[in-house]
Amino acid sequence: MKYKISNLTEMQVSALREIVNIGVGNAVTSLSKMIETGVKIEVPDFKVELIEDVPEVLGGPANVVSGVIMQVTGDIDGYIIMMLPEEAARTICEIITHEENTDILTPINQSLIEEVGHILAGSYVSSLSDFLSLNIKISTPMQTFDMLGAIIDHILIEMSQKVEYALLFDTLFILQGDRTDGFFLTMFDPDSMDTIIGRVDKMI
Among 45, 87, 115, 158, binds another protein (CB under 8 A): 158
Q: Which helix (DSSP H) or strand (DSSP E) does residue 147 occupy?
A: strand 142-147
Give the 3-state secondary structure of residue 120: helix
β partners of residue 171: 184
Among 38, 40, 42, 52, binds another protein (CB under 8 A): 52
The verdict on 161 binding another protein (CB under 8 A) reads yes
The verdict on 164 binding another protein (CB under 8 A) reads yes
Q: Which is nearer to another protein, 69 or 132 (CB)?
A: 69
Site string for another protein, 127-156 (x = CB under 8 A): ------------xx-x-xxxxxxxxxxx-x
Q: Which is nearer to another protein, 38 or 60 (CB)?
A: 60
Q: Which stretch binds another protein (CB under 8 A): 28-36, 37-45, 64-72, 120-128?
A: 64-72
Q: How far apart are the first and last CA of the chain?
A: 26
Alpha-carbon torsion angle 33, 16, 153, 1, nearest 10: 170
β partners of residue 186: 80, 169
Q: How far apart, in whole angstroms, are the C-alpha atoms of residue 25 and residue 20?
A: 8
Kindly list the residues in this chain that would bind another protein in the complex (CB under 8 A).
52-56, 60-64, 69, 71, 105, 139-140, 142, 144-154, 156-158, 160-164
